[in-house]
Amino acid sequence: MLVRAFAVMARCPQHTFLILTKRPTVLRTRLSKPQFVAAVRGLVAAAAPELTVPWPLPNVQLGVSVEDQHHAWRVLELLRIPAAVHWVSAEPLIGPLDLTRIVGGRRSVVDGLAGEIHTAGGDLLGACPAAVRWVVVGGESGAARGIRPMAADWVRHLRAQCTAAGTAFFFKQTGTRLAAELGLPRKGSAWSDLPAEFRHRAYPDVPALPALSRGGPS
């Protein structure tokens, strides 16, 4: 199924596809296998033999859901997967999240926005294979009972991290609880309802997608 999905995306370079997962280890294992890439190219060749398939696909952006600091390890797995753009969906955000200080292996600390690995003391150890280029933030929505809150300061902190790193920041929605605290209509979904400080909806800069490649080496 995943091979077929990537083959379809490979045949549609005029579109940009966003993939979001909570299981980046599984995705990394699948996508890192040469057999997977070969299978995708094989399906494309069978349907459109004139096309070549670059890898990673330039029109596919890979993301992970990270709801709080406890789950920030998913970013480390994400950055090990080759992709045109790596992004994080902090929705629903249910706790503070610092993407610049993710605990890695051997007591290292990873700055996922800068794509750097540091010691606990702050000394630079090396670079990650990639960096997060887009962060989407939103609160949990639905009936008020049982909805987990999202503190405005958590959003402000993430936005400050992204601003300092030059990472695109997209505020999607307040969610039910924060909307009520701010005196907004449910979820504050209308752009005009949001306070000015939350009107941030930026997208990552990406190279122009190539036209369909016909012939030549892959």
Residue 190 clears pLDDT 90, i.e. is over it: no
Predicted model pTM: 0.91
Instruction: Provide the mean pLDDT of the chain.
Output: 91
List, for residues 161-183, the tens digit of each pLDDT value: 999 999 999 999 999 889 888 88
Position 107 scores a pLDDT of 86
The least confident of 2-6, 141-145, 155-159, 188-192 is 188-192
Over residues 139-143, mean pLDDT: 85
Query: Confidence class of residue 185 from pLDDT cuts 50, 70 and 90?
Result: confident
Over residues 57-83, mean pLDDT: 97
Position 85 scores a pLDDT of 97
CA-nearest of 160, 24, 180 to 96 is 160
Give the pair of three-digit tokens for residue 82.
């080759």
Query: Confidence class of residue 151 from pLDDT cuts 50, 70 and 90?
Result: very high
Position 106 scores a pLDDT of 82
Position 144 scores a pLDDT of 63
The least confident of 14-18, 55-59, 206-210 is 206-210
Backbone angles phi, psi at 102, to 5 degrees: -105, 125
Residue ranges covered by each domain of the chain: 2-8+16-198
Give the pair of three-digit tokens for residue 63.
């993301």
Position 214 scores a pLDDT of 45
List, for residues 76-127, the tens digit of each pLDDT value: 999 999 999 999 999 999 999 999 999 998 889 999 999 999 999 999 999 9
